[in-house]
Structure 1
Amino acid sequence: MSSESPLAGTAEAPPASARFTRLVLAIVAVLAVLVVGLGAANALRGPRVLDTVAGLGDATRLAGTTIEFRLNQPVADLDASAVRVDPATDATVSVDDRTVRVAFAAPLRPSQDYVVEVAGVRAVGGGPESALRHEFRTADEVLHVLQRRADGDDTVVRVATGAGEPEVVLAAPRIESFAHAGDVIAAIELLDDGANAIRIAAAGQEGPPASLALPQSGDVRNLQASTTRPLLGFVQDGVGGFATLHVLDVADGVTATPQPVLGLDGSPMSVDDYAFVPGTSSLVVRDRDGAMFLVDAAGVRPSTPLGSHTELRGILPGTSTVVVADPDRGATIDLATGETSTLELPPADLPDGAYPGRVTSLDLAGAHLLNVLIFDGSDGGQASLVARADADGTSVVFAPAEGSAVLDHCLAPGGTLVAVETGAVGAPNDGYEDEPWVADTITTLVEVDTGRIVLSLAGGRSDWCG
């Protein structure tokens, strides 16, 4: 019998620890190859987009809308020439570590397809360039107009710029004016006894509009709404000419309670005029003595004095810059800094016999729209139009058909569109004691820069005329 072990001549198996070590080394080697390969791939193709964030909610109503490209690695700074927008739009580009941010300098056109491209994007450490691209379409602008009828209720009708049929959103026997904040519509109704009231409804609700419980007796007027917040305002006349401004927060619908706007002493102000500041919950208020204030609608922050001015002319489109007028000049107030600057309006080049009317400022450079009435010297011979005047000259934005005249123009919140109201020359008004207008008024929506007609709709007093 052999005394050799059965395992004699067979290699001894390595211990488990040695096998584990070899396995770890093999995995490390594979990972190293992968890392080198991925590094080489990244080095060959440059930074890539992990996510794109576009905050477009108020893009057609406010300047400063941004597109953010979030990348897989930190990237080097870019200059202004790196960004291109189609259709051509002024924009800036900035870099924050792994984020490339494009900000639009002005509100965008509604119902418009846009392409944003950023070229020359390179990692901080160098390497190949990448090009970023994002396509989007802006929301439709929605136009509301008042249609007065001799044979039934007056109605507020809305229609979108993109497509769709006009839709009635509020009806009442005799509507003087209206305003809307989001989907909430409010209207001042003229009652049989000559007094007035406010009716309020949510778009799409069934049944008649509700009657808003007013905080005091007295006529209501100057109904306005914020273009970016769920806020409505109205002025109610009281004893001795005291006029109180009330604000309604309609974020929860039509059940809101009006709250008075308070002055520096904590008591209600007597108000001459006011305007909501886009993109904020604030208002600019001018009191009966001409003093102006920036007021927080919620009453949380104290009011800020803005000086005294003869007239409040509104807010520049898409901004928080207030336009005011005094006997010696027009001016703007930057609400971010409180700085007041003279606003010089380039003179309009108008023909002989032309008389300029209402002016609407477009920007800090003095560009503006104005109604123009032109007489040709003959009996009853006249024409009217809406013109634009800026540093480059004067151009016609809209001229009505023969036999019609421009009654008013109202700029859209973003300033890219204007609603022009026209009526037949010599037509009688509709007989309302307050807020009368020419019967059979037509509202035409026009692009300010091009004069292109977007749509026409029977009615007037659009929601942009506040």
Structure 2
Amino acid sequence: MSTETGPGPDELTRRRRPRNRFRRRLVATVLVLVVVGAAAAVVGSQQGPRLRDVSYDATGLVSRPAQRVILTANQALQRVSAADVRVSPAAAHTVTSSGNTIAVEFAGPLAYDRDYTVTVSGVRAPGQRATSELRTSIRTGSTDVLALVPGSGGAKDRIVRRSLDAGGATTVYEATGISEYTPLGRSLVVVSGTDAGSSVDIVPLAGGVQDEDAPVEHLTLPTAEGRVTALHAADDGASFGFEYADTTTGQSRNVGLYVVDMTGTHLPTAIAGDGKPMTGAVPMTVGQWAYVPRTESALVRTGSDDLVLVDMSGRTDPVRLGSATYLHGFVGTGTTAVVETGTGIVRLDLTDGKRTALQAPAGSTDAPYLGRIAQLTDDSYLRVVGDVRPDGTLAQRIVRVDGSRASRLAVTLPDDASVTAVCPSPNGQFVAVATKSATSELVSIVDATSGALEASVDAGSVDWCGALPSGDEVG
């Protein structure tokens, strides 16, 4: 029989020491964290919020209105008002704030390739007295244009990309007999062929050029042979449309508007006379048409000069907006169109149908030839005007109108060429001036204010012109 005794006092003391040391270290660590947290709170209350992150779309800022710069602070903020935010160079904007974010939304597109500073003053966290200033710099994106360069000597036609801040051009796609094209999201819609019969291809892009690893989609047209003209695409890439004429009998029949829904079957569907997409319907006749910027709606001047706002998706009913003899284009915000009536040129509000006279100072109307209005901003536009020379040709010039003032834009136009289009960039900073002579075509990209030349390309038009309603120039 054996007798066991418990641990002695010395042994118990040795066992307790590690536990006591652990407890002491834990308590010390917690105390340090508490002190650090308290110190941080004190510092934060004394210094105010700090900027943690900034996010924005550099390309969107120069091509679309209502684009935002988001500033994120390191803590929640009291409400920030528009008076607290300053943008330099100045740009119209609104401000909203929630939690620890501040959203600065710009009314219209900003200038290309420019630095802007956004400063938020008097920023305060809830319950704190200290204020701080949040400041950040952003840089907007540059721009380029797509242009159609006709082939010569049997070469294929090329759609090229020309950057305004670098020389040279990159071939995006090439084919024989290209007549029209339009960007569509990450694709390019290309019309080619002859007057007797057209083909429509959807070309996938990668890195801004044709994706050689992806197949080109050849669209099935409504009839065996037909002619496609007046191609336009919605800004969001959800659909595109064109005028189509059935030429199977050798004559043009059932000429009218068709839409291709990219979210559906990709089959062209007629826009019926009542303004609704309908398979097999007789299409609505078209004098001019174009998508309203940043929407899936189209403004159509019918063959009988009726104005109709058509939802190309068919989700809402068409809206009748009276009549017009010519569609000039859209004001930058997209909710207003510039249209010509029997009594003058007006700005048409597409939301309520209200019409207001367009300011037309004498310098913009005192010539025998008056061309299309190319709207730059809410208050300014360009227009080609011309005088008749003794030999019967036109001496053209471009006039810029700012409110009630008209002045000549300092652009040199070739004597032997005529202006075929004046197409503003999405932000109105530049304008493409397309000219055509007996032997050549040229597009000059110029500053819309000074007329200074930025770039040029031997082509008939650029993709900026796709925002203008299709139709002949007025005269």
Q: TM-score range by the shorter chain?
A: 0.7 to 0.9
Between stretches 194-203 and 36-45, larger displacement belongs to 194-203
Aligned residues: 440
1:464 is paired with a residue of what secondary structure? helix
Query: 1:272-299: per-residue Cα shift (whole Å, max 9, x none)?
Result: 1321233233333344444444434333
* Residue of structure 1 in register with 2:134 after alignment: 131
Give, in whole Å, the separation in 2 of the partners of 1:240 and 1:401. Answer: 37
Shift of 1:390: 1.5
- Asked if structure 2 preserves the Cα contact closer than 8 Å seen for 1:61 and 1:317, the reply is no
1:145 aligns with 2:145: no
Are residues 357 and 256 of structure 1, via their aligned partners in 2, closer, same or farther at CA, if it must alter by over 3 Å? same
| Residues 36-435 of structure 1: pairs in structure 2 closer than 5 A | 36-125=38-127, 126-147=129-150, 149=152, 151-163=154-166, 165-191=168-194, 194-200=195-201, 201-202=203-204, 203-206=209-212, 212-216=219-223, 217-229=225-237, 231-238=239-246, 242-249=254-261, 256-262=266-272, 263=274, 267=278, 268=281, 269-272=283-286, 273-299=288-314, 301-310=315-324, 311-335=326-350, 337-349=351-363, 355-365=369-379, 367-374=380-387, 383-391=395-403, 393-400=405-412, 403-407=415-419, 408-423=421-436, 427-428=437-438
Between stretches 34-43 and 113-122, larger displacement belongs to 113-122
Shift of 1:373: 1.8
- Asked if structure 1 preserves the Cα contact closer than 8 Å seen for 2:113 and 2:141, the reply is yes
- Asked if structure 2 preserves the Cα contact closer than 8 Å seen for 1:229 and 1:280, the reply is no
* Residue of structure 1 in register with 2:470 after alignment: none
2:400 is paired with a residue of what secondary structure? strand
Between stretches 75-84 and 56-65, larger displacement belongs to 75-84
- Asked if structure 2 preserves the Cα contact closer than 8 Å seen for 1:113 and 1:136, the reply is yes
Shift of 1:368: 1.4
Query: 1:32-53: per-residue Cα shift (whole Å, max 9, x none)?
Result: 3223211121123211123222
TM-score (ref. length: structure 1)? 0.79
- Asked if structure 1 preserves the Cα contact closer than 8 Å seen for 2:62 and 2:140, the reply is no
- Asked if structure 2 preserves the Cα contact closer than 8 Å seen for 1:293 and 1:307, the reply is yes
* Residue of structure 1 in register with 2:5 after alignment: none
Task: Name the aligned partner's letter for residue 245 of structure 1.
Answer: L
Are residues 186 and 35 of structure 1, via their aligned partners in 2, closer, same or farther at CA, if it must alter by over 3 Å? closer
Shift of 1:20: 8.6
Query: 1:320-352: per-residue Cα shift (whole Å, max 9, x none)?
Result: 4333332235444545x4352414224152697
Which runs of 5 or more residues in structure 1 are unaligned? 1-5, 429-438
- Asked if structure 1 preserves the Cα contact closer than 8 Å seen for 2:234 and 2:291, the reply is yes
Which runs of 5 or more residues in structure 2 are unaligned? 1-7, 467-475
1:103 is paired with a residue of what secondary structure? strand
- Asked if structure 2 preserves the Cα contact closer than 8 Å seen for 1:321 and 1:334, the reply is yes
Shift of 1:440: 0.9
Are residues 389 and 152 of structure 1, via their aligned partners in 2, closer, same or farther at CA, if it must alter by over 3 Å? same
Give, in whole Å, the separation in 2 of the partners of 1:331 and 1:342. Answer: 5
**RMSD of equivalent CA atoms:** 3.8
Give, in whole Å, the separation in 2 of the partners of 1:401 and 1:240. Answer: 37
The structure richer in helix per residue is 2
1:410 is paired with a residue of what secondary structure? strand
